[in-house]
A and B are shown apart, each in its own frame.
Chain A
Amino acid sequence: MIDISAAGRILLAGAMAASAWTIAASLLGASRKDRRWTQSGSRALHATTVLFSAAVVLLLTALISRDFSIAYVANYTSRSTPFLYTVSSLWAGMEGSLLFWTLLTGLYASTASFVQRERKAALVPVANTAFGTVLLFFSGMLVFAANPFDPLAPIPFDGAGLNPLLQSPFMAIHPVLLYLGMTGFTVPFAFAVASLVKGRLDSGWFTSTRRWTILAWSFLTVGIILGGAWAYSELGWGGYWAWDPVENASLLPWLTGTAFLHSVLIQERRGMLKVWNVALILTTYSLAIFGTFLTRSGLLSSVHTFSESPVGPLFLPFLAILMVGAFALLGWRYDKLRSDRNLESLLSREAMFLFNNLLFVTIAFVVLWGTLYPILVEATSGAKISVGPPFFNSVIVPVGLALLAMTGIGPLVAWRKASSKSLKRDLAFPLAAGAATILGVAIAGLRSTGAIFALGLSTFVAAATAGEFVRGALSRRKGGTGFLGGLIEVIARNRRRYGGYIVHLGVVLIFVGFSGSAMTLSWKGTVEPGDSFEIGRYSILYRDHQRLRTEERMIVGTTMEVTSDGKRVATLRPQRNFHIAQSQPQSEVGIHTTLTEDLYLVLTQMDDSGTAAIQAWVNPLVAWIWIGGIVMTAGMVVILSAKPAGLTRPASAMSSPRGKQEAVV
């Protein structure tokens, strides 16, 4: 019988030593240009990753075997926790999630470093140093402040079990995707730092890590959308996004990361914005680390105590070192980052991308400000304030709509200098379609100005984007392949471009879903069995109630017959579970989803005679958010299926002579 607690501690300490060795050997290798040191650094990096993998396997083993002598296992599982959620409790608590996060960082770092070892041989040792630094910090934190292998004495007979609100399939995968997203930005970050140190500031550093960046961004996007789906289906308050600081923490790196994905296209194509691109990826990674800190520091879950968890105070110096170091490098290399060219016209693709970046970064700033403002105010004046959804909505909705409009216009504007004539020609139909939609929905009786405008704008963007597909397909049609054949061919040959447009179409659908929130209906009241109530076009009959007690939970449930215009629509069973061990109530929401609206029923309370307190919402168009998410995912897959730039057409080699040498080395 091995002592899991001791074994875990040894693995973590070993990982810490290996990451320190990674830093030292890689630095020596880089400064002495000595391949042996460089290789030793690479091997130490892989060893770090292997040690973290072993630690995760060990913790999983402890979780699955319900080894309650480990405090983490006792805190997050119990004998009755189902297998899936026993596995997911690996990332449900602070210590485990930090370990998991570190493992993912290590996996990204090792794989990227291995893949690039020939093509970017000059950058790899410096990138390894950056990887090693991040891993050293996290392993140090795991050893000293948040050790998931801490023993527990006396050993309890049963564990506390996983918070039932987290026992949802969404919650099993949502954090994994978020972590895969946030940690994935380590790769472009490390290579950006390496190219700053080495002074190799052509576009090579981001073209060779582009697929990593897009992969990370894709995971983050899907993770955020699934988080919304979880909040909507599990929390029982009728919404999907509350501008909660924890949600904002995941949105921040997404916003700057999205700006980055767009702005590197200008550098690749026109040799502009070199400083900006480096700054954006440094900021994105810093925000990812910042988000990890925010959600674990206790800073947000309680504004009154600065930090109740021991990891909080460790994060801030690390973040400071990371940012100061990275931006000092940027300042040092500023001269080498001059643009090859200047902006030629405000009516150009470059200018469109600049405005796109301006808006993304401003939104990120607004979200950051709104999240931190209460903490700043309390720290400076002692006054306690809250900044809620009204603030975020009133600022971010207009800026977001402006960004949506640019999604339609931007791709139609030519590089360097667009001719206003061709732009007018390409915009005529989308503008007409948008105007027709506004007129149509207004005549159809929609009363919300915001929703009418958002729907019109969405139609405009969808039509403009569709125009790109149509023009592309027509241009390929000469071989007699027909329209559909031409469409498939043009997408297959320009996967990054058309994949991007597919992502844009997904964004449009998500905005359609958002616009529905302006038309939400809600109802609440107390009903007896046999009563019925009305909301929107629905009439809901409370037919029956059930009451059930198991060992773990008390379940009260209702059966609701939903009819509309005399026709039966659905039978919904909103229930309320009370998890006894955790004294945690949990709603099972009754949702009837259609493409036009969701009927959303929540049972908030029921007494012995079956008198039930019900809350009901009609949430128009919500389904389009999830459909948009699926379309976005399809677009990401198309983008990622493109051949890596460095393998087929060495973009870096074409853009500068130095890149050519690098490709040879």
Chain B
Amino acid sequence: MATPRARFVIAASIVCIAILGLVAWSLSSTTTYYKTPAELLSGRIDPAERVRVAGVVVAGSVDRAGTTTNFAVTDGTEQVMVTTEDAIPDTFGDGVEVIAEGSIATDGLFTASTVLAKCPSKFKAKQAAAK
């Protein structure tokens, strides 16, 4: 009969392996790769494919009508127009980094089902006065 200590080590190992397995499985099924606007506009993305685009909201591009929000995101070189019906948090706005998930049409309009805005880091001073 194994000692209690050995039995604990075995039980703990089983728990750890189970959780590691869960982590690996969950990472592979839930992480999403995302593209920059430049990659998105390279024309190699299938309109049927669900992709994520990450970038910064172009200042002055936000246009809201009803529940629809239109805006442009940029990676500094290219910019993509995004349209969404999703709930957008208050942290969203000019110059905020966003990740939009959806698909891109052949005309270059990105229709997003979800838009995530980065949490307001209070350590980034609002640059409004400097602008």
Contacts and interface: CB of A to CB of B under 8 A. Distances in A.
A582 B67 contact: no
Interface in A576-628: 581-587, 602, 604-605, 607, 611, 613, 615
A399 B19 contact: yes
A366 B87 contact: no
A327 interface: no
A338 interface: no
- Main SS of chain A's interface residues? mixed
A235 B90 contact: yes
Interface in A68-104: 74-76, 92-94, 97
B9 to A, nearest CB: 10
Given A75-B129, A93-B123, A605-B65, A236 B34 contact: no
B89 A342 contact: no
Given A358-B16, A524-B87, A605-B66, A343 B30 contact: no
Interface residues of A, number: 79
Interface in A154-171: 156, 159-161, 163, 165-166, 171
A401 interface: no
A513 interface: no
Interface in B22-53: 22-23, 26-27, 30-36, 52
Contact of B15 (A165, A238, A358): A358
A103 B15 CA distance: 42
A71 B68 CA distance: 39
Nearest to B95: A583
Nearest to B59: A583
Contact of A394 (B4, B26, B128): B26
Contacts of A325: none
A604 B125 contact: no
Contacts of B4: 342-346, 348, 351
A388 interface: yes
B19 A395 contact: yes
Interface string B88-130: 1111111001010000000000000000101111111111111
Contacts of B91: 165, 235
Interface string A170-183: 01000100000000
B102 to A, nearest CB: 14
A68 to B, nearest CB: 10
Contacts of B7: 346
A281 to B, nearest CB: 21
B95 to A, nearest CB: 9
The winner among B5, B85, B120 for most chain A CB atoms within 10 A is B120
Contacts of A573: none
B123 to A, nearest CB: 4
B129 to A, nearest CB: 4
Interface in A162-218: 163, 165-166, 171, 175
B125 to A, nearest CB: 5
Given A237-B87, A358-B15, A395 B22 contact: yes
A343 B2 CA distance: 12
B82 interface: no
Contact of B32 (A246, A346, A355, A385): A385
B27 A373 contact: yes
Nearest to A576: B90
Contact of B19 (A238, A301, A343, A366): A366
B33 A604 contact: no
A386 interface: yes
A657 interface: no
A583 B119 contact: no
Contacts of A496: none
Size class of the contact patch on chain B: 35 or more
Contacts of A370: 27
B56 to A, nearest CB: 9
Contact of B23 (A358, A369, A383): A369
A387 to B, nearest CB: 5
B50 to A, nearest CB: 13
A352 to B, nearest CB: 11
Contacts of B11: 346, 355
B129 A246 contact: no
Contact of B99 (A92, A236, A354, A386): A386
A74 B129 contact: yes
B119 A165 contact: no
A655 interface: no
A391 interface: yes
B27 to A, nearest CB: 6
Nearest to A585: B90
The 7 closest A-B pairs by CB, nearest first: A160-B129, A390-B30, A94-B123, A244-B119, A391-B30, A613-B67, A526-B66
Given A300-B121, A605-B65, 17 more contacts: A75-B126, A94-B125, A159-B129, A163-B126, A166-B122, A295-B123, A302-B97, A303-B54, A343-B8, A346-B4, A351-B4, A362-B16, A395-B19, A526-B66, A582-B126, A582-B128, A607-B65
21 contacts: A74-B129, A75-B125, A93-B122, A94-B123, A163-B126, A171-B122, A234-B90, A237-B89, A246-B119, A346-B11, A351-B4, A354-B12, A355-B12, A362-B15, A384-B35, A385-B34, A391-B26, A395-B26, A524-B87, A584-B126, A613-B64
